[in-house]
Amino acid sequence: MNNQTNQGMSQQLGTAPVGKLLLKLAAPTVVAQLVNLLYNIVDRIYIGHMPQVGALALTGVGLCFPVVYLISAFTMLVAQGGAPRAAIAMGEGDNGRAEQIMGGCFTCLVAIAVALTGLFWLFGEQLLWIFGCSEETIVYALPYMRIYSSGSLFVMMALGMNMFVTTQGFATVSMRTVLIGAVCNIVLDPIFIYGLDMGVEGAALATVISQAVSGIWVVRFLTGKKTTLRLRKNTLRPSWRLMAPVLALGVSPFVMQSTEALLNVSFNASLQRYGGDVAVGAMTIASTVMQMVWIPAQGLGQGAQPIISYNYGARNAKRVKEAFFALLKVSCAFLVSFWLLVQLFPRFFISIFNSDPQLVETAVWTLRVYTAVLGMFGVQMSVQQTFTAIGKAKASLFIACLRKVILLIPLIFLLPLFFENKVLAVFLAEPVSDFISVTASAITFYFVFRPAMAELEKGKE
């Protein structure tokens, strides 16, 4: 039955109309990403609307984003490297090795979580000052960071081990993991923040408890009878022979996620210098709005990847091209539509998170500047996803590093030297780097994709 199902899916990937197939495969991933988005922003919505102190509290929580990114980056290093390796072992019929990989990753995640918790407790306050905290925001950022980092273990279990659920084909179970956590967070946030008058500490605690529920759910499933790969005591001791390839594969997503932390620190430090807490608060809103569009857009790319990869492996250049252009059209249409909404109605998006008059006035124009070329970004997203799908990971990583490390971070510090309005200059770094990187992506794609397709077509002759 499973073989028939797999053959049916393979036939669809190779023969079904590309447009309909893309929407069919993308729909569940977009839904999962939307739930994940809700998980990420719900506490910011509640915090931003706290009476009297909402603007400062939201800024303080925004200053903790690098900690969140770093915990996620180390999770990606282990889990996003381990889950594909386990899947490959399963495909080779070696479930024992797959379980060894999963068990080793579980132990590594636990060890890293303990280490990160200790690190953030010992040096958290010093880090927050580096991140751009002020005397007014440190009182919100420090307790949030300490509580959130204390739950690193739960966060890494929920995010990391859930990838081993997905890689076995249990998409519904994986989605439930995210949904359970999101519902818990939505319910607990107002209770802890307002009902128990715990403020930002309540938001952090609600997130930790929600992640704990998700983490327990995942571990219970992976130790139960319904899973194909099972967590067992005799597989928990990591083997360097198995973990070295895991970590090697996980380096790319680790670099991409950890640079988000560096990018966030650069923005906040520069904005704190030139615009103070209001400018940092506007950045928190702008980056969250960007998440609202980027996370669902990633779901579209994930839906296209199996179509592109399968047909690339089948040396069907025509369908690879069709899938790329279908992804490009859908992504551009989605991002252009969202860009128009943000440019026309910025106050609506800002009001989701805060209503402080000073912060709103600053956020209106900074959000428009920050998202000025968002509509073009469908090109870069489609190019990156396609490079990954056809095995051009180095090209994909180069484009990501070009935008963030080579262009954006230096521009954050260089542009204020040439503009009288320093805050404008900092926010302007985003669209300038985006425009250059999108252009570079299109040029790189032309010189990499065309030869790859020519090689496929040559192999067909």
Q: What is the pLDDT of residue 344?
A: 94
How far is residue 366's CA from residue 283's CA, in Å, rounded to a whole number? 8
Which residue in the block uniquely carries the two structure tokens 């509580």?
Answer: 147
340 C-beta neighbours (distance < 10 Å), count: 12
Q: What is the DSSP letter of 8?
A: H
Q: What is the DSSP letter of 159?
A: I
How far is residue 382's CA from residue 387's CA, in Å, rounded to a whole number? 9
How far is residue 425's CA from residue 361's CA, in Å, rounded to a whole number? 17
How far is residue 30's CA from residue 34's CA, in Å, rounded to a whole number? 6
CA-CA distances (angstroms) from residue 4 to 1, 7, 9, 90, 92? Answer: 5, 5, 9, 18, 18
Angle at 93 between CA 87 and CA 97, to 5 degrees: 65
271 C-beta neighbours (distance < 10 Å), count: 27
With the C-alpha atoms ordered 267, 273, 277, 278, is the resulting torsion angle positive or negative? negative
Residues 305, 43: contact at Cβ < 8 Å? no
How far is residue 386's CA from residue 4's CA, in Å, rounded to a whole number? 28
How far is residue 246's CA from residue 238's CA, in Å, rounded to a whole number? 11
Q: What is the pLDDT of residue 369?
A: 94
In order along its 461 residues, the chain shows pLDDT tens digits of 444 443 444 456 556 667 777 777 667 667 766 766 676 677 777 777 776 666 777 777 777 777 887 888 888 888 877 776 776 676 566 778 888 888 889 999 999 999 999 988 888 788 888 777 777 778 778 888 888 888 888 888 888 888 787 666 666 777 777 788 888 888 888 888 888 878 788 888 888 898 899 889 888 888 888 877 777 888 778 778 888 877 876 777 787 778 877 887 888 889 888 988 888 888 888 888 887 787 778 777 766 766 776 677 677 778 888 888 888 998 899 999 999 999 999 999 888 877 778 888 999 999 999 999 998 988 988 888 787 667 676 777 787 788 888 999 999 999 999 999 999 999 999 999 999 999 999 999 888 888 888 877 775 55
The CB-side HSE value for 70 (13 A sphere, CA atoms) comes to 22
SS3 of 403-424: the string is: HHHHHHHHHHHHHHHCCCCHHH
Q: What is the pLDDT of residue 1?
A: 40
How far is residue 292's CA from residue 305's CA, in Å, rounded to a whole number? 21
Which residue in the block uniquely carries the two structure tokens 């010189």?
Answer: 447
Q: What is the DSSP letter of 50?
A: S
